[in-house]
A and B are shown apart, each in its own frame.
Chain A
Amino acid sequence: MKKPVLTKEEAIGILMITPALAVLALVYFYPLGYNIDLSLSNWPIKEALPKYYVEFDNYARLFFSKDFQTVVWNTLFFTIISVPTEFFLGLGLALLLNREIKGKNVFITLLALPMIVAPVIAALAWKWLYFYDYGALNYVLSFVGVQPIRWMSDVNYAIYSIIIADVWTTTPFMMLILYAGLQMVPTQLYEAAKIDGASQWDTFWRITLPSLKAVLIVALMIRTIDAFTKLFDIVYVITGGGPGYATEVLPTFGYKVAFVFFEFGRGAAVTMITLMLSAVMVVVILRSSRRK
């Protein structure tokens, strides 16, 4: 007897995911295709002219632009510094919370607060902290003899101002996701390690970290994609991308090109490059995680 093309389970599975796929096609694949199409064209709406195709001109113009290279570098620099910082801080806090502490839930709630605050509000709060004259940060630093710093307009500090604000906002996410991961590590493993006389470092290195691997990779991937594609509010509110191009990153640059200059084609090319770069970063994370 001829084998059916699909088993019953497969057919039901396909059936179940069909509506979701239809929705995905509508809200994801169609916009993606449209964006690709847009990135290969020029649409001078400012001159009320129709769209026409320019092949890869928008990409070429971006690749040869020194300013765009600076924007890409800023985004990479931000990601390389902020994501590991958030990871280590989040992991440290998660490990602390994983112990038996009185009022643990209160601590978790307090530590998670920055994540609850809307990013724009958090950015505004940081902007106030960074003010040269009446900002709390310079005021506090003055007690230890540090001269006031121009956090937002000094080209040497501006990117770090963004990183600090972002780390504050997103560390709780890392903390919570890693804390959830720690909760799932079987306690028997720790008990066995204790009986075997393993040191705390050995326990962490040989039990905790390997058990967290899957959660850790997901957390790093989410944050890397976020850092590449969603770093908008904080930059927009605190520095506006300045001074010069000092804090301009891919999301703010793409927004300006598309919705301030109304160069939709070039804006779409910026987002496609952003997408490709974040995909590369994710592949790097996945590949490195497969190594034994």
Chain B
Amino acid sequence: MKKLSEKKAISKMIWAAIVVIIIIIAGVATYWWYTTQPTTNPPPAKVISIAWTEGPEFDFINGKLNEFQTQTGITVNFLKIPRAHIVERLMLEMLASTPSIDGTVIYVLEAPTLASTGGLVDLYTYRPKSEWIAESFYQDQLEMLEFNGSLYYVPSIWNGALLNFYRTDLFANATLGALFQSQYGYPLAVPTDPNKLMDVAKFFSEQGYVGIHLQMTTSEMGAGAYMFYPPIAAYFGGGIYNTTTNQILCNSTGSVYALEYLLNLTRYAQPTVLEDGTFEAEQAVMQGTSGGKELAMADQWSYMYNMLPDATRPWNISERIFPQQPDMLGVAILKNSPKKDYVWQFVNWTSSFEIAKGTTLATPKAPCRSDVANDPQVKANYWVNVIVNSYGGHKPIVPVIKNPHATEIYEAMMKRLGQAFSDYQTAGQTNAHAIAQEKLDALYGDIKTILGI
């Protein structure tokens, strides 16, 4: 009798467990069904969420947001996401869309990958190319960001240029000038070509200075060696990979020479050349020293110009000798957003003359519109021509690789550059040519594997 009641109790408990599990499964299934049903919502609220990232332009836009809200009645929520992670957040958003992001700031390096997913709105559907150009946007800058004839953002938020920062006191020093003249046979001046840059960097290095502060970190995309090597390779007739012709150029003669040149130039740079990025360069310029030595020159971003009055040494800027890669940031609209038209108004506002002028002046950057570049208030600044000439004026902007695998190709490039720099230092700064050739041959193999060719 007792055993029978025990059996019944166990049986009841098992049934109870089964019922609980069924209820849980039913609950999960109902939730899943509910959340995946197409809904007939009322018109969306005039609130948009924009994924944003840190940078010198953030404060300016943030400070002006109330003007946009007054003009349009649209409230903007900024979702601050670190730049290093914004692309993975966006990719996940595109894989499983949520209503949490309507628009996003996009960086030029991520644009090829994001564009190829088909998850962004073509801005040409809102405004044709001819109208963007008629509105003063630079055609070559727009085309830099075109993917298969579509435009996903305009570089209105940020258009950073690398410049040559130099110490005015050292270049004006009569003793140093005379010594340089006697050694090199021409006057000491701010360098204007690669040979002169090497001479000047070497000269200062031999006089006990850091010849040039370089950012050669290979752990950061959008900074460091990533911004330096491809433009030098292009300058010397090489490159990494030509998207149009499907040619791998990374171990061409020009590319090998460029890396050899760069390896040699690092001999006259600061000891931490391989780990320094934008932040370290900023510290070095502000203090005027690096590795315990005085600095003579530095390759650094245009945003620092406004900070120079606070630097401990006298600095000025000159045109960058090499071209540079685009450093463009703008707002894109996510295709899944139900508030695309509101985001378009935000895009329109951020690319307007007033905002483009404001960010150009506040952050020193290259203007994205010719009317801003020609505005008397903007033009009155000494730095405008230096930046414009460095960034598309005298020196062309080197286009990015427009391929879905661009990020992987750049990462492979950074790895090989990191190895080349390390090998060069380990070898006592000799065999630059052999090291450059070996690493770029390896990169050639990497790119072939990445592209499956």
Contacts and interface: CB of A to CB of B under 8 A. Distances in A.
Interface of A: 4, 8, 11-12, 15, 18-19, 22, 44-48, 61, 65, 67, 131-133, 148, 150, 152-156, 239-246, 256, 259-263
Given A11-B10, A246-B422, A45 B291 contact: no
Contacts of B415: 67, 242, 244-245
A132 B21 contact: no
A133 B13 contact: no
B56 interface: no
A224 B116 CA distance: 40
Interface stretch (B366-374, B392-400, B401-409): B401-409
9 contacts: A22-B24, A45-B94, A46-B117, A131-B272, A153-B273, A242-B217, A242-B418, A259-B88, A260-B88
B17 interface: yes
Given A243-B274, A260-B408, A262-B407, 10 more contacts: A4-B7, A15-B17, A45-B117, A132-B291, A150-B274, A153-B273, A156-B426, A239-B219, A243-B422, A246-B422
B214 to A, nearest CB: 12
Interface of B: 6-7, 10, 13-14, 17, 20-21, 24, 87-88, 91, 94-95, 113, 116-119, 217-220, 271-275, 290-292, 404-405, 407-408, 411, 414-416, 418-419, 421-422, 425-426, 449
Can you list the 5 inter-chain pairs with the closest CB atoms, starting with the nearest?
A240-B219, A244-B419, A46-B404, A153-B274, A244-B418
Contacts of B419: 243-245
Dominant secondary structure of chain A at its interface with chain B: loop
B82 to A, nearest CB: 11
Main secondary structure of the interface of B (DSSP, over half): helix
A12 B405 CA distance: 55
Contacts of B17: 15, 18-19
Contacts of B218: 240, 242-244
Given A240-B220, A242-B219, A132 B275 contact: yes
Given A242-B418, A263-B408, A133 B118 contact: no
B24 A8 contact: no
A48 B118 contact: yes
A91 B110 CA distance: 48
B274 A260 contact: no
Contacts of A18: 17, 21
